[in-house]
Chain A
Amino acid sequence: MKSSDVIVARHAWTSLIHRRLGVLAGLTAALCGCFLANLSIGPVPLSLSSLFHTLLHGNDGSAAATVVWHLRLPFAVMAILTGFALGLAGAEMQTILDNPLASPFTLGLSAAAAFGASLAIVMGWHLPFGAAWGGEGIVAVNAFIFAIGSALLLDLIARWRGGTRGTVVLFGIALVFTFQALVALVQFVASEDALQDLVFWTMGSMTRANWPKIAVLGGACLLVAPWSLRSAWSLTALRMGEDRAASLGVNVPAVRLASLMRISILAALAVAFSGTIGFVGLVAPHIARRLLGEDHRFYLSGSAVVGCLIMSCASLAARGLLPGEVLPVGIVTALVGIPFFLATVLRDGRTS
């Protein structure tokens, strides 16, 4: 073994890390650009200088400030946080279930949350201390309970069948159909008013964002992201196969359970506040893997940032596609997501 070979390998490794950091920085820059575009473009166009002025001086009561602080900023921030949560949750899910089709949307977490939410809406449940939230506090809590429940059910199936991933995915798909049917049932018996609220869930939209919700989702992201990154090495090892990871000293059941907890927290809150938004959790991990490889320090952060970027672009497109209308962002992500996803899949199919 020549020492020069080691130096060459070390150098190649360092440049690989630098390239990945560069990609992450590029994605973040694109996200910042998109975020600013979200704030300045609209029926009342704002120049960048007046935008910065408004952002720096707080809400001083002027028309521009009201538009920014009450409408555009909450929507834009909520879109980014939702993308972050769904991107990170999808990335972790694809790793622990070892399946490229796994995402909160495809395996029933979103559907379960939507069912929980629709039950709360239609039954007219209220939190005893939730006056400040209107009826939406219990909706979020209920969505959360159902998402956690379905995540735990998935974990139970994974353990019970001795960890065969195929079973978990099939079970997840069964969950999707079950909860979709249940949501349809609730819709059928719902009153007209409740039905309108329900439609919000099935389409996904940023228009109900407000600062308390942003604080909760933002807090959850801030809490979960470092927790996720701490198990980045274990999750990377898990990509090489469950037995291999276990023989390297990874406590696979514990890592998987912790990961499922994070996934349900992120997915449930995102769905609870923004409704069911598909494809972000599915596509973002694929893009991140392609750009950044399997090292989960980069893959997890990359998927979260890509999720933010997709949601930010989608919310921009949601306002731009039909003049004077704000489309539900869930529709846009699906329309933009499907061709993108097909392109990725077909390209992967060709190379392998």
Chain B
Amino acid sequence: MNGLVAGPLNVHIGRRPILHDVTLGPLARGTVTALLGPNGSGKSTLLRALAGLLPAHGPITLNGQALSSLSRPAHARLCAYMPQALPPPIRMQVMESVLVSLRVQGGSLHDEAFSQAMETLSRLGIADMALRFMDELSGGQRQLVGLAQALVRSPDLLLLDEPLSALDLRHQFTVMDLLRRETKKRRMVSVIVLHDLSMALRHTDVATMLAKGRVLASGPVREVVTSAILAQAYGVQARVEDDASGMPMVCVDGVV
């Protein structure tokens, strides 16, 4: 079985149940999945559970392998996770931080590591920042470095928690475009938490809508982002329309 299959998953934080019988997938390799839902619906928790950072009750399999049975390092070799918080502004070079991400699993810093790191940085358009320090960069620039740290490891499963939150319009677009291309090329399974529904419609293949810790809808993104489901999930009156160039977009008219 190729791709990611998860669930039914139940996750508690402390005594508080966060996710109830959440199922995800099967998500095929080479597809980008959007994880959508209002604040507090459990998106980040689901992502952290998939990354093995929270104990989840329920099976998670990636390409036929049960992830929960793996040790932390073995899990980390298959799966890269980018948390919602931006990388901190510390006295570390951009290049260095990407190399740490490659090196922490062991091995030496050979030429290949340098070319991998530089290639990833240049794909994200920040090769010129390679020798600058993280505490000199803006929030958005650090978010791009965080993405580089995740992408450079060429994982099978890429989990990104709001990767666009600090980016300007141009970078939002180029990052989503890059993620889609890389996901296809490297046959990854990418799961991305997004708030921008139009972005999800245009740049992802499938979507899962969460609300109050349960799955509300799951499937091709056009079938998940609909007026009926948006009304149910967010409590808003919204239309999904095609703009002049035929691209779908979400217009919110008011609250329900």
Interface residue ranges, A against B (CB under 8 Å): 1, 3, 5-6, 9-10, 12-13, 16, 162, 233-234, 236-237, 239-241, 243-251, 289-290, 293-295, 352
Contact = CB atoms under 8 A, between A and B. Distances in A.
Contacts of A241: 83, 85, 87-88
B53 A240 contact: no
Contacts of A240: 87-88, 90, 92, 97, 100, 149
Interface bin, chain B: 35 or more
A172 to B, nearest CB: 21
A233 B73 CA distance: 14
B72 interface: yes
Contact of B53 (A1, A10, A13, A246): A246
Contacts of B81: 243, 247
Contacts of A247: 51, 53, 76, 79-83
A328 to B, nearest CB: 34
Given A240-B100, A248-B104, A16 B93 contact: yes
19 contacts: A1-B115, A5-B127, A6-B115, A9-B114, A9-B118, A9-B130, A10-B114, A13-B99, A239-B90, A240-B90, A240-B100, A240-B149, A244-B149, A248-B76, A248-B101, A249-B72, A250-B72, A251-B72, A294-B92
Interface string B114-130: 11011100100001001
Given A240-B88, A246-B72, 19 more contacts: A1-B122, A9-B117, A10-B111, A12-B130, A237-B101, A240-B92, A240-B100, A240-B149, A241-B83, A243-B53, A243-B83, A244-B83, A244-B146, A245-B104, A247-B81, A249-B72, A249-B104, A250-B72, A289-B91
Contacts of B80: 247
Tell me whether chain A's interface is mostly helix, strand or loop, or mixed.
helix
- Listed from nearest, the 7 A-B pairs whose CB atoms lie closest are A249-B76, A247-B81, A249-B73, A243-B83, A294-B92, A6-B115, A1-B119
B104 A1 contact: no
A9 B93 CA distance: 11
Given A10-B111, A293-B92, A352-B135, A249 B77 contact: yes
Given A6-B118, A10-B111, A247-B79, A237 B104 contact: yes
A249 B180 CA distance: 25
B95 interface: yes
Contacts, number: 107
Given A244-B149, A249-B73, A250-B72, A5 B122 contact: yes
B184 interface: no
B143 to A, nearest CB: 12
A6 B96 CA distance: 14
A94 B152 CA distance: 28
B88 A6 contact: no
Contacts of B93: 16, 293
B252 interface: no
Interface in B116-156: 117-119, 122, 127, 130-131, 135, 146, 149
Interface of B: 14, 48, 51, 53, 72-73, 75-77, 79-83, 85, 87-93, 95-97, 99-101, 103-105, 109, 111, 114-115, 117-119, 122, 127, 130-131, 135, 146, 149
A248 B114 contact: no
A244 B160 CA distance: 11
B72 A239 contact: no
B172 to A, nearest CB: 21
In this complex, which of A13, A250, A290 has the most chain B Cβ atoms within 10 angstroms of its Cβ? A13
Contacts of A233: 100, 103-104
Given A9-B131, A249-B77, A295 B96 contact: yes
In this complex, which of A1, A239, A243, A244 has the most chain B Cβ atoms within 10 angstroms of its Cβ? A244
Contacts of A1: 115, 118-119, 122, 127
Nearest to B161: A243
Contacts of B83: 241, 243-244, 247
B88 A239 contact: yes
Nearest to A10: B114
